Amino acid sequence: MRVREKYDVVVVGGGTAGAIAAIGAARTGARTLVVERYGHLGGVLSLGMALLGSLDGEGYWALGGVGRELVARLQTIGGATEASIDPQFGSVLGQDPELLKLVLLEMAQEAGVSMLFHSTVVDAMTDGRRLTGLLVANKRGLEVIPATAVVDCSSDADVVAHAGGSFAFGRDGDQLTQPASRIFRVGSVNMDRVWGYLAEHPEDCQAPEGWTGRDYDIDYLRSTPGASLEGFASLIDKAKAAGDFHVPRARLGMNTLPGRSEVTINITRVHGLNGTDPDDVSEGEVAAQLQMLEVVRFLRKYVPGFEDTHIIAAPYQLGVRESRHIHGRYLLTKEDVLEGRDFPDQIGRGSYPLDIHDVKPDAEVLGSKVKGGGVTLWPIKKSFGIPVGCIIPRDLDNVTVGGRCISATHEAAGSIRGQAVCMVTGHAAGTLAALSAKAGTFARDVPIALLQETLRAQGALLERTARIPSAPGIAADVDAGLEPTRL
């Protein structure tokens, strides 16, 4: 078996968290390698959904550091909109996924990150609590990558699981997880016709239940750069009655970009699969791909403005919202998130709403039966701190973790899975790995003051201090209430 050269830091997974982790590690002085099973950086971040929750509900930034720099660089080339305040989602920021992948690659190259694409980590070698090497499968066969410090950004905590680290799966009790969806993009959409239809049919773009923001009408949606809309419920009902729609979802989620005729569609949904089980995932792919076909037929037949639409981008794989949550040195809870708690050892902030898609098609939510096929959303008024213990597995010495599999309960994971938060935890996990490799110590032994100082020097936001200049009326809106919302 070929043994590859040794790096200071190996990042497994070059997705939302991993790409940022690698850039952070390299900027901290580590020779860094990313191992990624596909041929590009960005992971789920590169599917075209709006970046939600980069600001909290009062207009304070939670996203800083390398992730914020990515957004700023995209904005200079028309690849991202400004963040607009949204009391339910904190903020909405539209982005162009193709430009995003390329800018991320450019930033990684500039930082000196080495890439090993089309290679999957399939096992880990250990010596007690220490990970000594990674087993990688690619076209050459099996290869070994010796490990100094490893960052697990595989989204499913593959490294932690292969190394024998402990983890929880889904929610306590029944291990059910949030459903999976295939996100896809369609083109040739006549947006004037779409907005015109919604202006005449406000019932098809109703404000989410519990909405606390400014008037939620067509003017609001049209003027929000990169609007994120859940609508067309009456058209879905009509199509269901005619036998034309079988997806277990009540509304169509879509993200728009100003001046563009392309739209990102978030509606397919598969319940009850284990995102780490290849047989389950294969079944889910089949189901979700056939749903895509039905959705395109639905869009063309039922939704004004989509008559001539066609698919312009299918995702590289089914989007898994939840699987393993590592057992870390700290377990983030729903209360930590909703109360906007701060911690002396925090490594960044999160403000993505606590966003839980019904784990079953007929959901028992909030203690009473509600119509299934929805999402329960707890807005975040004040961003919360993320303690360093969430990114350090409690039973492995030289591994840090970033992204949606960090140490959090099923509920808190509904928030930390947001793209902005994944970039924040990725940045911290990569930087911590680099500092530990440099000092020849374990992640848990790196002085927290050194980690925090290094992150701040790279633009990370550890305190809630930076507010967008114009946030008129936001505090008043948010004070109106923060009850959970049903989408």
Ligand X SMILES: Cc1cc2nc3c(=O)[nH]c(=O)nc-3n(C[C@H](O)[C@H](O)[C@H](O)COP(=O)(O)OP(=O)(O)OC[C@H]3O[C@@H](n4cnc5c(N)ncnc54)[C@H](O)[C@@H]3O)c2cc1C
Residues near ligand X, by CB under 6 A: 12-18, 35-38, 43-45, 49-52, 120-121, 153-155, 158, 181, 183, 266, 319-321, 352, 403-404, 417-419, 422
The closest residue (CB) to ligand X is 15
Q: How far is the CB of 328 from ligand X (least distance, A)?
A: 15
Q: How far is the CB of 153 from ligand X (least distance, A)?
A: 5
Please, which residue, 121 or 235, has the CB nearer to ligand X? 121
Q: How far is the CB of 271 from ligand X (least distance, A)?
A: 13
Please, which residue, 334 or 357, has the CB nearer to ligand X? 357
Please, which residue, 17 or 221, has the CB nearer to ligand X? 17
Q: How far is the CB of 51 from ligand X (least distance, A)?
A: 5
Per the listing, tokens 């949904």 go with 269
Please, which residue, 37 or 334, has the CB nearer to ligand X? 37
Using only the alpha carbons of the chain, give its radius of gyration.
21
Q: How far is the CB of 241 from ligand X (least distance, A)?
A: 27
Q: Phi/psi at 214 (nearest 5 deg)?
A: -65, 175
Please, which residue, 120 or 166, has the CB nearer to ligand X? 120
Please, which residue, 313 or 479, has the CB nearer to ligand X? 313
Q: How far is the CB of 476 from ligand X (least distance, A)?
A: 26
Please, which residue, 83 or 482, has the CB nearer to ligand X? 83
Maximal CA-CA distance, the chain: 66
DSSP string covering 117-147: -S-EEEEEEEETTEEEEEEEEETTEEEEEE-
Q: How far is the CB of 474 from ligand X (least distance, A)?
A: 20
Q: How far is the CB of 400 from ligand X (least distance, A)?
A: 13
| Composition of the chain by helix, strand, coil, percent to 5 | 35, 25, 45
Give the containing element (helix H, strand E) for 51.
Answer: strand 51-52
Strands (E), 314-459: 324-326, 346-350, 354-357, 364-365, 368-369, 375-378, 384-387, 399-401
Please, which residue, 11 or 218, has the CB nearer to ligand X? 11
Q: How far is the CB of 416 from ligand X (least distance, A)?
A: 8
340: left (phi over 0), alpha (psi -120 to 50) or beta: left
Helix (H, G, I), strand (E, B) or coil at 203: helix
Tokens of 326: 């590592």
Kindly give the interhelix angle for 419-439 and 16-27, rounded to the nearest 10 degrees. 40
CB 392 within 8 A of CB 400: yes
Q: Phi/psi at 11 (nearest 5 deg)?
A: -100, 125
412: left (phi over 0), alpha (psi -120 to 50) or beta: alpha
Q: How far is the CB of 98 from ligand X (least distance, A)?
A: 16
Measured CA angle at 119 (ends 113, 125), to 5 deg = 90
Q: How far is the CB of 445 from ligand X (least distance, A)?
A: 25
Please, which residue, 251 or 321, has the CB nearer to ligand X? 321
Euclidean distance between CA atoms 59 and 382, whole angstroms:
9
Burial of 289 (0-12, 13-18, 19+ CB in 10 A): middle
Please, which residue, 69 or 158, has the CB nearer to ligand X? 158
Q: How far is the CB of 357 from ligand X (least distance, A)?
A: 9
319 CB contacts (<8 Å, ≥6 apart)?
Answer: 44, 47, 180, 181, 182, 183
Please, which residue, 181 or 196, has the CB nearer to ligand X? 181
Helix (H, G, I), strand (E, B) or coil at 415: helix
Please, which residue, 207 or 448, has the CB nearer to ligand X? 207
CB 24 within 8 A of CB 431: yes
CB 179 within 8 A of CB 358: yes
